C-alpha cells in the first residue's frame, strides 16, 4: 500500500463501509490524524452513507457545512489531550530534580523467596573458548539475551563482562549479547526491508544460534522484550536450554486480563502520535533513560542508552517495539505470545532465577507473581526500590545473585 492510495475515492469508500483490513485501517487512521482534507472527505462520505440509508438526499454543499462527525471530534480531542500529556511529560523530564536520593541510600535488601526442594539440575560450566581449547571446555555456553536500548547492551552486567575484560562471568563463560536488528550497533534497515515484528525477532535469534553451531545447552539471561523472544525460542528447543535467568519480562499474555499502562495504551491507540513522538523526539529511549531506573543514571550511562538512536530512522526499532505489543487477538504477535505461554511448562525441569525491580510500571508485581506461579521451584528475588532497569538500580546485588545461581547449578 502506498500513501497515494489514501486519497483515492474507492479507498475512502472502503474505509467508511468497513471493508479495509485491520492493518490497512490502522495505517489509514494514522494518516488521518494529520490530514484535515482526508477527515473532510471521510465526513462527507459518512453523511452521504447515512443519507442514502435513510432515503434523504443531501447535497455536497450542505454536507460540507455540517458539523464534524463524532469520530473526527474524538480524534481531534484525543490529539489535543495527547499533545498536552506529551508536553507535560517533557516538562517533567526537564524539571525533574537532580538531587533525588539514589537507590544505594534507600534500597532494602532484595526479598528472596526460597525455592522448593524439587529443583532439577543437570548442568555445568563452560570456559571461555578464547582461553581454553575445545577439549578443555566444560559444559554449556552462557547466552545473554535481552532487549536493551543501548549500544552493545551497556547495562551493568554487560559493562562488567565486556568493559572489564570479561572479569565477572568470563573466563568461566562464553558470553554472547546480540543487539537486535535496528538496536544498538546492529544494522538499521528501513521498514520495506524488515518488518520489526516479534516473529522476525524470534527468527533472527534462532538463526544466530544455528549459525553459531553451539554444541552444548545454553543459559538464557533475558530482560524485557528479550524475555519474550528468548522464551519463544526456548519452548521450541527445550533440549538446548541449560538454565534460565529472567528480569522484568513476560512470555505470556497479561495476567488476569491486566491492561497495558495508560502511557502505552496512548501510543497504541494513536499510532500517528506515537510515530511523531518516538521518531522525532526519541520519546521511547529518552523516557526510559529517566523512568526505567529509580536512581539517576550517570551522564555517560545515559548517553550510552541514547547513542544508537540519534536520528528518526535509527529510532524505527523502538517505535516498532511499541507498535508490536500484542493486545488483541488480531495483533500480529498475539498467537505467538499465547502459544509460548501455554508451553512454558516445557522449561520446568531446568533451574530458573528471577530478579525483579518492583517499581516497574509495566512488568509489575503481578507479572513477577505469575512467573512464580508457573515456576514454583525458581529462585526469586524482588527489589522493592528498583525499577525496570534492575541491572542499573541493583547491579551489584543482581550480578552477585547471578554468579551464585550459576555456581550452585554447576
Q: How does residue 310 score in pLDDT terms, banded at 50, 70 and 90?
A: very high
- The answer to whether the CB of 184 falls within 8 A of the CB of 148 is yes
- The answer to whether the CB of 183 falls within 8 A of the CB of 317 is yes
**CA 179 to each of CA 50, 149, 198, 288: distance values in angstroms, whole numbers, following the listed order:** 52, 9, 15, 17
In angstroms, the CA 17 to CA 252 distance is: 35
Grid cell at residue 299: 551522564
Helices 271-281 & 22-32 angle (0-180, nearest 10) = 60
Q: Is the pLDDT of residue 381 over 60?
A: yes
* pLDDT given at position 115: 39
* pLDDT given at position 267: 82
Q: Which tops the pLDDT comparison, 367 or 178?
A: 367
Q: How does residue 309 score in pLDDT terms, banded at 50, 70 and 90?
A: very high
* pLDDT given at position 394: 92
Q: Which tops the pLDDT comparison, 373 or 10?
A: 373
What contacts 316, CB < 8 A, 6 or more positions away?
182, 188, 190, 191, 196, 279
Q: Is the pLDDT of residue 95 over 80?
A: no
Determine the average pLDDT of the residues in 30-34: 61
Per-residue pLDDT of 265-308, as tens digits, reads 888 888 888 898 999 999 989 989 888 999 999 888 888 889 88
In angstroms, the CA 293 to CA 394 distance is: 10
- Number of neighbours of residue 180 by Cβ within 10 angstroms: 22
* pLDDT given at position 44: 67
- From the list 408, 121, 376, 371, the residue with the least C-alpha distance to 222 is 371
- The answer to whether the CB of 219 falls within 8 A of the CB of 245 is yes
Grid cell at residue 262: 495508560
Helix (H) or strand (E) holding 289: helix 283-291
For residue 247, the 8-state DSSP code is E
Q: How far is CA 33 from the centre of its chain?
A: 25
**CA 407 to each of CA 138, 173, 243, 316, 351: distance values in angstroms, whole numbers, following the listed order:** 13, 11, 12, 40, 12
Per-residue pLDDT of 101-134, as tens digits, reads 332 223 334 444 443 332 222 222 222 333 333 3
**Which residue in the block uniquely carries the three cell numbers 463524532?**
70
- The answer to whether the CB of 223 falls within 8 A of the CB of 249 is yes
pTM score: 0.67
- The answer to whether the CB of 15 falls within 8 A of the CB of 31 is no
- From the list 405, 351, 390, the residue with the least C-alpha distance to 146 is 390
Determine the average pLDDT of the residues in 372-381: 97
Q: Is the pLDDT of residue 402 over 60?
A: yes
Q: How does residue 251 score in pLDDT terms, banded at 50, 70 and 90?
A: very high
Which DSSP string corresponds to 135-184?
Answer: TT--SPEEEE----SSTT--SHHHIIIIITTS-SSTTTS-EE-PPPTTST
In angstroms, the CA 399 to CA 387 distance is: 16
Pick the CATH number of 103-408 from 3.10.310.30, 3.30.365.10, 3.40.50.1820, 3.40.50.620: 3.40.50.1820
Half-sphere exposure at residue 77, Cβ-oriented, CA atoms within 13 angstroms: 7
3-class secondary-structure state, position 379: strand
Q: Is the pLDDT of residue 49 over 60?
A: no
Grid cell at residue 56: 434523504
What is the domain partition of the chain in residue ranges? 3-95, 103-408
Q: Which tops the pLDDT comparison, 184 or 393?
A: 393
Q: Mean pLDDT in the chain?
A: 74
Share of the chain above pLDDT 70, in %: 62
Cis peptide before 124 (omega within 30 of 0): no
- The answer to whether the CB of 44 falls within 8 A of the CB of 59 is no
Amino acid at each position: 500500500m502506498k500513501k497515494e492510495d489514501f486519497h483515492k475515492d474507492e479507498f475512502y469508500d472502503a474505509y467508511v463501509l468497513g471493508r479495509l483490513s485491520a492493518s490497512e485501517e490502522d495505517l489509514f487512521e494514522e494518516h488521518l490524524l494529520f490530514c484535515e482534507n482526508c477527515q473532510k472527505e471521510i465526513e462527507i462520505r459518512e453523511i452521504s452513507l447515512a443519507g442514502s440509508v435513510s432515503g434523504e438526499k443531501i447535497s455536497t454543499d450542505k454536507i460540507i457545512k455540517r458539523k464534524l462527525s463524532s469520530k473526527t471530534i474524538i480524534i481531534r480531542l484525543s490529539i489535543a489531550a495527547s499533545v498536552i500529556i506529551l508536553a507535560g511529560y517533557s516538562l517533567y523530564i526537564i524539571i525533574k530534580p537532580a538531587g533525588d536520593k539514589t537507590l544505594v541510600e534507600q534500597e532494602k535488601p532484595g526479598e528472596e523467596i526460597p525455592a522448593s526442594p524439587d529443583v532439577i539440575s543437570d548442568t555445568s560450566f563452560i570456559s571461555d573458548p578464547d582461553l581454553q581449547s575445545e577439549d578443555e571446555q566444560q559444559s554449556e555456553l552462557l547466552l545473554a539475551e535481552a532487549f536493551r536500548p543501548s549500544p552493545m547492551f551497556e547495562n551493568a552486567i554487560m559493562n562488567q563482562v565486556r568493559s572489564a575484560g570479561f572479569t565477572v562471568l568470563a573466563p568461566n563463560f562464553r558470553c554472547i549479547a546480540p543487539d537486535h536488528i535496528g538496536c544498538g550497533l546492529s544494522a538499521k534497515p528501513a521498514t520495506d526491508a524488515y518488518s520489526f515484528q516479534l516473529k522476525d525477532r524470534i527468527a533472527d535469534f534462532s538463526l544466530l544460534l544455528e549459525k553459531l553451531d553451539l554444541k552444548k545447552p545454553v543459559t538464557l539471561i533475558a530482560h524485557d522484550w528479550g524475555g519474550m523472544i528468548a522464551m519463544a525460542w526456548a519452548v521450541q528447543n527445550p533440549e538446548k536450554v541449560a538454565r534460565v535467568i529472567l528480569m522484568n519480562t513476560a512470555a505470556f499474555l497479561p495476567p488476569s486480563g491486566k491492561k497495558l499502562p495508560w502511557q502505552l495504551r496512548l501510543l497504541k491507540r494513536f499510532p500517528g502520535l506515537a510515530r511523531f513522538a518516538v521518531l522525532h523526539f526519541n520519546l521511547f529511549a529518552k523516557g526510559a533513560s529517566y523512568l526505567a531506573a529509580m536512581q539517576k543514571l550517570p551522564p555517560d550511562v545515559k548517553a550510552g542508552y541514547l547513542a544508537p538512536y540519534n536520528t528518526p530512522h535509527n529510532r524505527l526499532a523502538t517505535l516498532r517495539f511499541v507498535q508490536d505489543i500484542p493486545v488483541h487477538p488480531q495483533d500480529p504477535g498475539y498467537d505467538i505470545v499465547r502459544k509460548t505461554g501455554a508451553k512454558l511448562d516445557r522449561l520446568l525441569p531446568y533451574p530458573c532465577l528471577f530478579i525483579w525491580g518492583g517499581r516497574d510500571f509495566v512488568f509489575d508485581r503481578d507479572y513477577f507473581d505469575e512467573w512464580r506461579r508457573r515456576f514454583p521451584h525458581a529462585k526469586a528475588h524482588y527489589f522493592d526500590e528498583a525499577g525496570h532497569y534492575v541491572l542499573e538500580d541493583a547491579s551489584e546485588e543482581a550480578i552477585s545473585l547471578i554468579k551464585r545461581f550459576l555456581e550452585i547449578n554447576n
